[in-house]
Amino acid sequence: MYSQEELLFSVSVAVYVATSLAIAAVRWGHKCQPYAQHADYYYPAWKALVFCMSSNILLSPIFCIPTDEDAVLYLRMMLILASPFLCAVVLFSYFGRVLNVGWWRNPVNALAIPFCLMTLSAFVMTLMPGTQLEGLFCKWYFSVAGTLALVYMGCFVLAIRMIARALKRFSEQNYSNPDDFPQQFAKGILWIPILYVATSWILTFIGSYLALTICMIVLSILGIVFLIGALTPHRTLEVEQLESGELEVESVTVVSEQEQPMPQTESQSEPQEEALSQQRKNEIVKLVRHFVEEEQVYLDSHLTLNSLSRICGVNRTYLSQVINESLGGFYSYINHCRLSHATRMKNEKPDVSIEEIVISSGFGSRQSYYNVRHQFEEFY
C-alpha cells in the first residue's frame, strides 16, 4: 500500500503527464483561422512546443511505481535537465524566428543529443528490475547529468538574454512600429519559463515527496497558462499581405545598436560630453521635420531611430535627446505623422479601403494601426 504522500505524488505526476500531452495535442490540432495555413509564421514555436510537451510521456512509469528509488531519481534528473533545455528550445524557436536570427540552431541541436541519450538511458534503467542508479555508477551518472544541467541552464539564460536585449532595442525610444517585435507578448510570457525553471530546480533539490508533488502541480498550471497565452497569434501581419507577398514573411533582421554603422558626417566629431546649444537643437529639429514630414520618411514601416540618424546625418544620441525634448519622443512623433497621413488619406479618398490606407501610411498591418490609434485616441 502507498502512503498518503506517495499516493499524492503519483497522482501529481499523472496529472502533469496528462496535462503535457493535452497541451501538445491542442497545440498540434488547434490553430486559429485563417492563420492555420501559415502556422510556421504566426506560431513559430508550435512544433517545438509539441515536441517538448510530448517528451513528458517518458515520465509515465513514475506514477505507476512512485516508491521506486530509481523512478524518483529519474524524475529529479529529468526536471533539472529538461526544464532549462526545453524552455530554451521553445524560446529560441519562437523569438529567434521572429527576430530572424539563426545562431542558436546548431548549438541547440548539438545539445539535444546528450539530452536524448541521458533521458532514454535513465528511462530504460527505471523500467529494469532492481535498483540501477546507485553506488559508483550513480555518482558518475549524476555528475554528468549535473554538468549538462549547468550547460542547459546557460543555454536558457542566453535565450532570456536574447529576448531581454530585443525588448530593450525595440523600446519606444528606438523603433516606430509595434509589428517589428511582439513586445507585450514577450513581457507577458517571459515570466512563465523563468518560474518553470526556478520551480523545477528548487523543489527538485529539496527532493521530498511533498516538494516533488508541489512541483508537478505548479508545472502543470504553468503549462496551461503558457498554452492560453500562445493560442492566438502575436504577429500582426495580415494574412492577405502574407499571401500576396506585399511584405516579406521573415521579420526584419535585428542588429544591435553597437553593431549598426553610424554615418560618416561631421556630427560624429561632436564631443559627447558637451551639451547641445539651443541653436544646434533648433537646427536638428528643423532637419528632422524636413526629412520626416516633408520627405515623408515615416512611410517606411520599419523606420528606426538609427536609420533616421543616418538619413539626417546627426549623432544618434543628440538626435534622441532633441526628439524627446522637442517632438515628444521618436515613437510618438513618427506614429502621429502616420496617423495624420491616414486621416488625410481617408478624407481625400473616402472610397479607399482601410487596408490600403494603413499600408500607405507606414503601418505594418491593420492591427498595428489600431493599436497605435488606441494609444493616441485622445488626439484622433
Structure confidence at residue 247 (pLDDT) = 45
Residues 114 and 164 in one domain: yes
On whether both 87 and 195 belong to a single domain, the answer is: yes
* Residue 137 cell numbers, joined: 555508477
* Residue 133 placed within a domain: yes
Asked, for residue 42, whether it belongs to a domain, the answer is yes
Same domain, 163 and 32: yes
Q: Does residue 8 share a domain with residue 147?
A: yes
pLDDT over 90 (residue 85) = yes
Mean pLDDT of 154-159: 96
Closest CA to 134 of 83, 81, 78, 74: 74
Cell numbers 481625400: residue? 348
- Which range among 131-140, 218-227, 335-344 shows the weakest confidence by mean pLDDT? 131-140
Q: Which secondary structure element, helix H or strand E, spans residue 324, and what is its range?
A: helix 316-326
Q: Identify whether the C-beta of residue 312 lies closer than 8 Å to the C-beta of residue 288.
A: yes
Q: Of 54-58, 134-138, 356-360, give the range with the top mean pLDDT.
A: 54-58
The pLDDT value given to residue 257: 39
DSSP states along 76-125 = HHHHHHHHHHHHHHHHHHHHHHHTT--TTHHHHHHHHHHHHHHHHHHHHH
pLDDT at 225: 95
CATH (domain of 284): 1.10.10.60
For residue 69, pLDDT over 60 is answered with: yes
Report the pLDDT value the prediction gives residue 238, as an integer from 0 to 100: 59
Q: Is the confidence at residue 71, as pLDDT, over 80?
A: yes
Query: Residue range 21-33: average pLDDT?
Result: 90
Answer yes or no: do 233 and 140 share one domain: yes
Residue after which a domain boundary falls, among 239, 268, 290: 239
Q: Is residue 266 part of a domain?
A: no
Supply the mean pLDDT for the chain: 84
User: What would the mean pLDDT of 237-247 be, rounded to a whole number?
Assistant: 56
Same domain, 106 and 214: yes
In a domain, 192, yes or no: yes
pLDDT value, residue 36: 81
Q: Residues 10, 107: one domain?
A: yes
Is 261 domain-assigned? no
What does the pLDDT average to over 344-351? Answer: 90
Confidence of residue 147 (pLDDT cuts 50, 70, 90): very high
Q: Mean pLDDT, to the nearest integer, of 271-299?
A: 85
Q: Does 226 share its domain with 286? A: no
Predicted confidence band of residue 134 (pLDDT cuts 50, 70, 90): low
User: How far apart, in whole angstroms, are the C-alpha atoms of residue 280 and residue 284?
Assistant: 6
Contacts made by residues 212-219, CB under 8 angstroms, sequence distance 24+: 212/9, 212/12, 212/72, 212/75, 212/76, 213/5, 213/8, 213/9, 213/12, 214/12, 215/79, 216/9, 216/12, 216/13, 216/15, 216/16, 217/12, 217/15, 217/16, 219/16
Q: Residue 126 is placed in which grid cell? A: 527505471
Give me the pLDDT at residue 210, please.
93
Q: What is the CATH number of the domain that holds 183?
A: 1.20.1070
Number of domains forming the structure of the chain: 2
- List Cβ<8 Å contacts ≥24 apart for 302-308: 302/176, 302/177, 302/180, 302/252, 302/364, 303/176, 303/177, 303/334, 303/362, 304/174, 304/175, 304/176, 305/173, 305/174, 305/175, 305/330, 306/174, 306/257, 306/260
Axis-axis angle for helices 366-375, 330-348 (nearest 10):
110
User: Which residue type sits at 265?
Assistant: T
pLDDT at res. 378: 62
Task: Tell me, yes or no, whether 256 lies in a domain.
Answer: no
Determine the structural domain holding residue 15 and report its residue range.
Answer: 4-239
Q: pLDDT band at 369, cuts 50/70/90?
A: confident
What nine digits make up the cell of 380?
484622433
Q: What's the average model confidence in pLDDT over 157-177?
A: 86
Which one of 239, 266, 299 terminates a domain?
Answer: 239
The residue-averaged pLDDT of 317-327 equals 90
Q: What local confidence, expressed as pLDDT, does residue 236 receive?
A: 63
Q: How far is CA 348 from CA 86, 341, 342, 344, 373, in A?
A: 53, 10, 10, 6, 19
**Domain presence at residue 157:** yes
Q: pLDDT class for 249, splitting at 50, 70, 90?
A: very low
pLDDT of residue 375 exceeding 60, the answer is yes
My answer on whether 347 and 202 are in the same domain is: no
Is 247 part of a structural domain of the chain?
no
Do 301 and 179 touch, CB atoms closer than 8 A?
A: yes
Answer yes or no: do 207 and 294 share one domain.
no
Same structural domain for residues 204 and 82? yes
**What's the confidence (pLDDT) of residue 52?**
94
Task: Return d(Cα 272, Cα 315) in angstroms, integer.
Answer: 9
- Asked whether residue 216 falls in the same domain as residue 305, the answer is no
